[in-house]
Amino acid sequence: MTDSEAPPAKAPEGVSGAPALPQPVLEIASGYAFTGPALDLGALLWDGRCLPDVQIRIPLPMLNRHGLVAGATGTGKTKTLQLIAEQLSAQGVPVFLADVKGDVSGISAPGQENDKVRARAGEVRQEWTPAGFPCEFYALGGMGHGIPVRATITSFGPVLLSKVLQLNQTQEQSLGLIFHYADQKGLELVDLKDLRAVVTFLTSDEGKSELKGIGGLSTATAGVILRSLTAFEAQGMSPFFGEPEFDTSELSRVAGDGRGTVSVLELPAVQDKPQLFSTFLMWLLADLFHDLPEVGDVDRPKLVFFFDEAHLLFNDASKAFLDAITQTVRLIRSKGVGVFFVTQTPKDVPGDVLAQLGNRVQHALRAFTPDDQKALRSTVKTFPNSPYDLEEVLTALGTGEAVVTVLSEKGAPTPVAATRLRAPESLMGPVDPAALDRAVQASPLYGRYAEAVDRESAYEKLTAREAQAASSPAPAAPSAPAEPASSRGRGRKGDDQDSSVVEQVVGSGVFKSLARSLGTQIGREITRSIFGTARRRR
């Protein structure tokens, strides 16, 4: 007996008229008939018809099992993010969104009803009500509309900074040694000029002897790093690094009415710096990872993090960087954080990461070229077995339609379901820039992060001690090393030290010890977090 000849199955609970539906449809409907809290994505598409009796949903507790939203340009990925973010906020879950194109800010304002919205809502049986959601707007380094987000160089760490500077593996390892050197000498790396000052010292006549003591770092490699830093600064990158450093716990806030805050990182002003903003997003996630406590499986996520333009993160990434991403995604689930990668095709995401993305919303793909056709076939292979001809369906989906499979309440994959998605209830477009600026300046966080602070750090210490050493005819005796930067609180960076540059920076005895224990000390310093980012005291 074929599927078309099979007798009607028992109707799943809540699906009216289900006995009249084909057997595959009944199986799909049963797979999405969750009893607990869930997000509503839309209604099933089958044989060219929208079936509003069969609602496609994601169980709320499964949102920390990560996900992928993919599809060609113009297929509705951004509106899908908006739809999911709205429902998460309404259920008390904070959300982070990266707004690359500048059209996500509308989530803070009620949507505008029109014929198109009414038609979509009627098709999927949605009770559409215009609504805005509590938002905070951020901007990297204050470039653009938003509260400035900055990181210190020490906190950013050598692995992420190497990605931004486009260093090769050898140069990345050498940069890690330089970070360790600065930590051991108490030279705080707050901004780019601090790191440049340390590298400049190590390549100077006075500092060259120190290169031999930190794992054989060559003068040539140090020079390459210095030139990369100089070019990076010349491109206007300095504002992104410094203090006050952004506290990523701000992303987990809940509004006074119990709704989760939607944190929107405005990126249009840095669209031409993809390496920078994609790596900064990874810093935010890495910082959350090593600050949040373990919570195990929870009834709702503590935060859902949408990683837009994810392919930029993986392009030209080193093995260490990819390994760190994989480990972060694997482990951050137990801290209650869900991560959704947003890109064009699943092949943009490495296999080890893709294997951990349990929730999938795949918008239409195009197959105009041989490469497109290859990507289409690869995408189809990433889905479970399905009654659909996915190659045909994925090329025929319209805007606002997607193929969905998620994890059920028991953690098993649901049947593949072609879905007509609901319409967001917030504004589907940007808010007025003047209104955005008013919202930013009215935020209680604005006064905390608006103005950059330039306190004494490595640059000032090296400059002052070098001047002191130049004016002193006799060198001072070496002293014990300063307390490592990684073990001090964030508020002690301005402490005065009266030792000379030789006392502060040059301690050959320390580096003899360092050379003997290089295999353990360096490794421990660089891996103090997954990405080598510095742990901070809140």
504-538 residue pLDDT tens: 333 433 333 333 333 333 333 333 455 666 655 44
C-alpha neighbours within 13 Å on the C-beta side of residue 345: 19
pLDDT attached to residue 474: 53
Look at residues 282, 194, 158, 141 and name the one whose alpha carbon lies nearest to residue 534: 158
The per-residue b/e assignment along 111-150, b for 16 or more CB within 10 angstroms, e otherwise, is beeeeebeebbebbebebeebbbbbbbbbbbbbbbbbbbb
Peptide bond before residue 244 is cis, with ω within 30 degrees of 0: yes
What would the pLDDT profile of 249-274 be if each residue is shown by its tens digit? 999 999 999 999 999 999 888 888 88
User: Do the beta carbons of residue 44 and residue 405 sit within 8 Å?
Assistant: no
Strands in 378-460 per DSSP E:
401-405, 417-421
pLDDT band at 310 (very low <50, low <70, confident <90, very high): confident
Q: Which structure tokens are listed for 181?
A: 């050197």
The phi, psi pair for 307, rounded to 5°, reads -105, 90
DSSP string, 340-384: EEEES-GGGS-HHHHTT--EEEE-----SSHHHHHHHHHHHHTSP
191, 152 in Cβ contact below 8 A?
yes
* β-strand pairing of 337-343 with 49-59: unpaired
Q: Under a CB-based contact definition with an 8 Å cutoff, are residues 44 and 28 in contact? A: yes
User: Cα separation of 121 and 127, whole Å?
Assistant: 7
Higher pLDDT, 73 or 487: 73
- CA–CA separation, 500 vs 497, rounded Å? 9
CB 360 within 8 A of CB 405: yes
> How far apart are the C-alpha atoms of 144 and 279, rounded to whole Å?
18
Distance in angstroms (rounded) separating the CA atoms of residues 71 and 362: 6
DSSP β-bridge partners for residue 45: 50
Report the pLDDT value the prediction gives residue 395, as an integer from 0 to 100. Answer: 95
CA 96, CA 307: separation in Å to the nearest integer? 8
Q: 500, 435, 449: which is closest to 474 by C-alpha?
A: 500
- Name every residue whose Cβ is closer than 8 Å to that of residue 500 and which is 6 or more positions away in sequence: 465, 468, 469, 472, 475, 476
Q: What is the pLDDT of residue 475?
A: 52
Once rounded to an integer, what is the mean pLDDT over residues 490-514? Answer: 37
Cα–Cα distance between 529 and 287 in angstroms, integer? 9
Q: What pLDDT is stored for residue 394 in this prediction?
A: 96
Which strands sit side by side in the sheet containing 337-343, from one edge to the other?
49-59, 38-46, 417-421, 401-405, 359-362, 67-70, 337-343, 303-307, 95-99, 262-266, 135-140, 147-149
For 215, the token pair is 């794992």
Q: Give me the mean pLDDT over the 428-443 stretch.
A: 93
Going by pLDDT thresholds of 50, 70 and 90, the confidence category of residue 103 is confident
Residue 510 has a pLDDT of 33
Give the residue with greater pLDDT, 82 vs 524: 82
Question: Which residue, 197, 195, 205, is CA-closest to 175?
Answer: 195
Query: What is the average pLDDT value for the chain, to the nearest integer?
Result: 84
pLDDT the model gives residue 114: 94
Sign of the Cα pseudo-torsion (115, 120, 124, 128, in order): negative
Task: Between 113 and 501, name the one with better pLDDT.
Answer: 113
- Give the whole-angstrom CA distance, residue 59 versus residue 65: 11
At residue 185, the pLDDT reads 87
Mean pLDDT of 438-467: 91
Determine the pLDDT at residue 535.
54
Give the Cα separation of 304 and 60 in Å (integer).
11
167 CB-near residues (< 8 Å, 6+ apart):
175, 224, 225, 228
Query: Looking at residue 377, what is its pLDDT?
Result: 92
Q: Could you write out the DSSP letters of every residue in 221-247?
A: HHHHHHHHHHHHHHTT-GGGB-BSPP-
> Given this model, what pLDDT does residue 191 score?
95
CB under 8 Å to 411, separation ≥6 — which residues?
62, 65, 358
| 257-271, 276-290, 459-473: least confident range | 459-473
Of residues 93 and 372, more confidence is placed in 93
Contact between residue 107 and residue 262 where contact means Cβ atoms under 8 Å apart: yes
The pLDDT confidence band at residue 32, using thresholds 50, 70 and 90, is very high
Q: What is residue 458's predicted lDDT score, i.e. its pLDDT?
A: 92
